Amino acid sequence: MPTGKAGNDMNVKSDTAPALKPAMKLDMRGTTCPAPLLGANRLMETMKPGEVLLLLSDCPGTQDDLFAWSRHTDHHIVRTERLADGGHGYYIQRGHSRLPEANAVLDLRGTVCPGPIVEAKKLLNGMRSGETLKLVSNCPGVATDVADWVRVTGLKLLGTEEIGAGAYEFYIGKP
């Protein structure tokens, strides 16, 4: 059984996305893998669909474990953050809260910013009201850029998922 600490104290530094509000936090810093994954899995079973768990871990293998695990479950790694102590914070969303179905997919991994937003704007201009674009990007800072862009343009950010280290899927709805 994992021996992680529950609590609300954390020192997280992030400039990649707006703050998430986790329903639970599990501090597994100081434990070795696979304990962080096992602890997260146990807590996820007690959570409601759509709720977010913040897992704190300094085990180097946690990130690979979590992304592999999420591919075989309905849980989503929404975001990762580097902690001031060198560990990481992993925001994990409980499954069964499906992301919207996309009418179009724009995969721009490898394209530098602001390219993904420029190309997404072009594609969205040709889409109908109510349709959804799935934008995939690994451009540094893209999470904040997309959140700001949809806010100022009146588009709707229907969902975001981190699909790998620094790579995101954004579901953008056209009003």
- Give the span between the Cα atoms of 52 and 168, in whole angstroms: 17
User: 171 versus 12: which is more confidently predicted?
Assistant: 171
Please give the DSSP secondary-structure letter assigned to residue 28: -
In sequence order, the β-bridge partners of residue 107 are 136
Domain-embedded: residue 98: no
Please tell me the predicted confidence (pLDDT) of residue 125.
Answer: 96
The amino acid at 139: C
Q: Say yes or no: 40 and 66 in one domain.
A: yes
- Mean per-residue pLDDT over the chain, rounded: 87
> With contact defined as beta carbons under 8 Å apart, do 2 and 21 qualify?
no
- The CATH number of the domain holding residue 163 is 3.30.110.40
pLDDT digits (tens, 9 = 90+) for 22-79: 999 999 999 999 999 999 999 998 998 889 999 999 999 999 999 999 888 889 999 9
Please tell me the predicted confidence (pLDDT) of residue 73.
Answer: 85
Q: Residue 153 belongs to what domain range?
A: 104-173
Domain count within the chain: 2
Tokens 């109908």 map to which residue?
128
